[in-house]
């Protein structure tokens, strides 16, 4: 009887060990499967969303015939109209789609500024608080990386920055809150993953560096280099220039000094910068950085806005990247056809394109983008410029498609230095570049920790629970 009991126990023990190992193997395999890799493939594929420029207008009721930004009468709609900033219904539909599309299987969401339309400080706080609450509601299990846009502090009021810091403190570790509360920039170091560096590029429209961002950035990049790490740079306003169109002059985005300094920073650190990501332009485009010998060394992607103010369709995107090196593998661009959405009274967000297949590329490097830009400039030889223009305003058909505009786009994409940009534009436009006045900014304090990948965390927790269960079972024998 006793020996039978012993052999039953042995069998039970053996079964538990087999089950535990099988469970461990399956969950590890599942982790790889979720990431799109095989068990033997050590690449760690991850994703992050990038959404930007809501310009949320809380005073805008799309069912009425006017909006705050557009002066002429507009149609009564459900989600808002071209030429207007974003309604609450539009913003809400975007976040709801992101959540249902990918659930927890992303590392983080980049929310890169201009969350509110340009109104009073009270409306700004209200719109930021409502947007923050929406992110908390739809992305409660992982974290959001907020970036300051130039409309997020229209009055430069330190009290308002205290509000912003309080709103976002749940997503940021204490070290990040310290620099954010004093200058609107921060970094988040992640073990064996690219460091997240969030810049306040709004300062760079002026010649000043009032809160020591450049010095701080130099130190952050130096630390990353010493640790043999890599970095993602996120900001609201990109360096370089906005291409001229029929209606608008070419525009510079940063002051000459800050623009030149930014380009130097990239040249000195291109080997550790895995990618740069911006908003602000309300357009789908990219920028290429070259070293002084003309070799392409880095790139920046610009995500289109949620706001349809520039007669664009609303859009956002999902990046696919190597979790370890930060190499960007591809991205999926999503958009909402506003006309159809309003006709159907239904926001059907859909995939617009995937970068690699759309542009017939094999990978994403500065070289690849340089070659792509070269073919865009030959509009009459290559259909790629039509592709580019088609998605530039997220399929709203707002752009005209002349050879001239293809050249202007080429100049903005490849010439980030002012002299080169002027030279590229040619004599007729070179002296027409409009430069902005500075946006002064000030800020305050608070704290909390950083959370890691949700899938990793979930599987790790499950494994701990099962290991604990096995341990308790054997201890009781």
Min separation Cβ 238 and Zn ion, Å: 10
280 sits near Zn ion (criterion: CB under 5 A)? yes
Nearest in space to 192 (alpha carbons), one of 324, 359, 387: 324
Q: Identify whether the C-beta of residue 47 lies closer than 8 Å to the C-beta of residue 331.
A: no
Tokens 């380009």 belong to which residue? Answer: 263
Min separation Cβ 232 and Zn ion, Å: 20
Min separation Cβ 279 and Zn ion, Å: 7
Min separation Cβ 441 and Zn ion, Å: 13
Q: Identify whether the C-beta of residue 194 lies closer than 8 Å to the C-beta of residue 274.
A: yes
Q: Where are the alpha helices (DSSP H) in 36-78?
A: none
Comparison of 151 and 454: residue with beta carbon closer to Zn ion: 151
Q: Where are the alpha helices (DSSP H) in 36-120?
A: 88-102
Comparison of 150 and 193: residue with beta carbon closer to Zn ion: 150
Min separation Cβ 98 and Zn ion, Å: 21
Comparison of 62 and 149: residue with beta carbon closer to Zn ion: 149
Q: Which stretch binds Zn ion (CB under 5 A): 21-29, 68-76, 278-286, 429-437?
A: 278-286
Comparison of 280 and 317: residue with beta carbon closer to Zn ion: 280
Non-local (6+) Cβ contacts of 421 within 8 A are: 240, 241, 250, 411, 412, 415, 433
Min separation Cβ 55 and Zn ion, Å: 9
Spell out, one character per residue from 110 to 149, where the chain touches Zn ion: x when CB under 5 A holds, - when not.
Answer: ----x----------------------------------x
Q: How many Cα atoms are found within 13 Å in the side-chain-facing hemisphere of 351?
A: 11
Min separation Cβ 439 and Zn ion, Å: 9
Among 150, 287, 309, 409, which residue interacts with Zn ion (rule: CB under 5 A)? Answer: 150
Min separation Cβ 305 and Zn ion, Å: 9
Q: How far apart are CA 183 and CA 211, in angstroms?
A: 5
* Stretch 298-357 residues interacting with Zn ion (CB under 5 A): none
* Stretch 352-391 residues interacting with Zn ion (CB under 5 A): none
Q: Which stretch binds Zn ion (CB under 5 A): 7-15, 109-117, 155-163, 172-180?
A: 109-117
Comparison of 280 and 370: residue with beta carbon closer to Zn ion: 280
Min separation Cβ 236 and Zn ion, Å: 6
Tokens 């620099």 belong to which residue? Answer: 179
Give the three-state DSSP class for 230: coil
| DSSP, res 289 | E
Min separation Cβ 151 and Zn ion, Å: 6
Q: How far apart are CA 91 and CA 88, in angstroms?
A: 5
Comparison of 107 and 114: residue with beta carbon closer to Zn ion: 114
Comparison of 86 and 424: residue with beta carbon closer to Zn ion: 86
> DSSP of 87-104, one letter per residue?
-HHHHHHHHHHHHHHHTT
Q: Identify whether the C-beta of residue 200 lies closer than 8 Å to the C-beta of residue 438.
A: no
Q: How far apart are CA 180 and CA 448, in angstroms?
A: 13
Angle at 341 between CA 336 and CA 343, to 5 degrees: 150
Give all strands of the β-sheet with 315-322 in edge-to-edge order. Answer: 143-146, 108-111, 45-51, 315-322, 328-335, 350-354
> DSSP of 303-370, one letter per residue?
PPPS--TTSPPPEEEEEEEETTT--EEEEEEEE--HHHHHHHT----EEEEEHHHHTT-S--SHHHHH
Q: How far apart are CA 389 and CA 372, in angstroms?
A: 13
Q: Which stretch binds Zn ion (CB under 5 A): 40-48, 275-283, 433-441, 463-471?
A: 275-283
439 sits near Zn ion (criterion: CB under 5 A)? no
Comparison of 150 and 320: residue with beta carbon closer to Zn ion: 150
* Stretch 42-71 residues interacting with Zn ion (CB under 5 A): none
DSSP percent split of the chain into helix, strand, coil, nearest 5: 40, 15, 45
Number of shown-chain residues binding Zn ion (CB under 5 A): 4
For the beta carbon of residue 434, count every other beta carbon within 10 angstroms: 12
Min separation Cβ 443 and Zn ion, Å: 17
Comparison of 150 and 309: residue with beta carbon closer to Zn ion: 150
CA–CA distances in Å: residue 392 to residues 53, 143, 165, 318, 353: 15, 29, 33, 17, 12
Comparison of 101 and 251: residue with beta carbon closer to Zn ion: 251
Comparison of 164 and 376: residue with beta carbon closer to Zn ion: 164
Non-local (6+) Cβ contacts of 7 within 8 A are: none
Min separation Cβ 436 and Zn ion, Å: 10
Comparison of 149 and 183: residue with beta carbon closer to Zn ion: 149
Q: Please give the residue ranges that form the binding site for Zn ion (CB under 5 A).
A: 114, 149-150, 280
């Amino acid at each position: 009887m006793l020996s039978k009991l012993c052999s039953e126990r042995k069998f039970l023990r053996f079964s538990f060990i087999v089950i535990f190992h099988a469970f461990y193997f399956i969950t590890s395999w599942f982790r790889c499967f979720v990431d799109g890799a095989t068990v033997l493939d050590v690449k760690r594929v991850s994703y992050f969303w990038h959404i930007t420029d809501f310009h949320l207008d809380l005073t805008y009721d799309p069912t009425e015939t006017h909006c705050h930004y557009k002066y002429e009468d507009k149609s009564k709609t459900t989600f808002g109209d071209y030429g207007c900033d974003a309604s609450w219904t539009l913003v809400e539909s975007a976040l709801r789609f992101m959540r249902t599309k990918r659930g927890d299987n992303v590392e983080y969401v980049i929310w890169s500024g201009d969350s509110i339309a340009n109104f009073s400080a009270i409306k700004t706080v209200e719109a930021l608080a409502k947007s923050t609450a929406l992110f908390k509601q739809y992305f409660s299990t992982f974290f959001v990386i907020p970036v300051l846009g130039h409309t997020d502090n229209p009055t430069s009021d330190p009290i308002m920055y205290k509000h912003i810091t309080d709103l976002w403190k749940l997503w940021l570790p204490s070290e990040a809150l310290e620099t954010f509360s004093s200058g609107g920039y921060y970094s988040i170091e992640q073990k064996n993953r690219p460091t997240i560096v969030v810049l306040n590029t709004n300062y760079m429209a002026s010649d000043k560096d009032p809160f020591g961002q450049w010095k701080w950035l130099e130190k952050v990049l130096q630390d990353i280099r010493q640790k043999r790490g890599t970095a993602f740079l996120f900001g609201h306003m990109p360096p370089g220039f906005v291409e001229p169109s029929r209606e608008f002059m070419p525009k510079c985005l940063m002051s000459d000094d800050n623009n030149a300094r930014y380009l130097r920073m990239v040249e000195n650190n291109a080997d550790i910068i895995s990618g740069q990501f911006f908003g602000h332009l309300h357009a789908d485009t990219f920028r290429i950085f070259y070293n002084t010998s003309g070799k392409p060394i880095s790139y920046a992607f610009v995500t289109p806005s949620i706001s349809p103010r520039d007669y664009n369709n609303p859009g956002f995107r999902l990046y696919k990247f190597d979790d370890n090196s930060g190499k960007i593998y591809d991205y999926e661009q999503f958009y909402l056809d506003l006309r159809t959405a309003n006709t159907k009274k239904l926001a059907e967000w859909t995939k617009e394109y995937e970068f690699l297949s759309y542009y017939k590329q094999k990978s994403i490097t500065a070289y690849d983008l340089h070659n792509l830009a070269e073919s865009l400039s030959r509009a009459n030889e290559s259909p790629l410029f039509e592709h580019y223009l088609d998605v530039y305003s997220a399929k709203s058909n707002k752009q005209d498609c002349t050879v001239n505009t293809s050249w202007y786009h080429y100049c903005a994409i490849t010439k980030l230095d002012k002299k080169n940009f002027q030279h590229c534009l040619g004599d007729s436009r070179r002296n027409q570049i409009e430069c902005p006045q500075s946006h002064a900014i000030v800020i305050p304090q608070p704290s909390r920790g950083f959370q890691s990948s949700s899938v990793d965390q979930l599987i790790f927790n499950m494994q701990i629970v099962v290991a604990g269960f096995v341990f308790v079972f054997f201890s009781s024998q």
